[in-house]
A and B are shown apart, each in its own frame.
Chain A
Amino acid sequence: GAGVSQSPRYKVTKRGQDVALRCDPISGHVSLYWYRQALGQGPEFLTYFNYEAQQDKSGLPNDRFSAERPEGSISTLTIQRTEQRDSAMYRCASSLDISGYEQYFGPGTRLTVT
Chain B
Amino acid sequence: SQKIEQNSEALNIQEGKTATLTCNYTNYSPAYLQWYRQDPGRGPVFLLLIRENEKEKRKERLKVTFDTTLKQSLFHITASQPADSATYLCALWEGGSYIPTFGRGTSLIVHP
Contacts and interface: CB of A to CB of B under 8 A. Distances in A.
Interface in B71-90: 89
B49 A44 contact: no
Chain A interface secondary structure, helix, strand, loop or mixed?
A: loop
A101 B49 CA distance: 8
Contacts of A101: 32, 34, 49, 93
Nearest to A6: B43
Contacts, number: 50
How many chain A residues sit at the interface, stated as a range, is 20 to 34
A25 interface: no
Interface stretch (A14-22, A60-68, A74-82, A91-99): A91-99
B63 interface: no
Contacts of B41: 107
Interface of A: 4, 31, 40-45, 48, 55-56, 58-59, 91, 93, 98-108
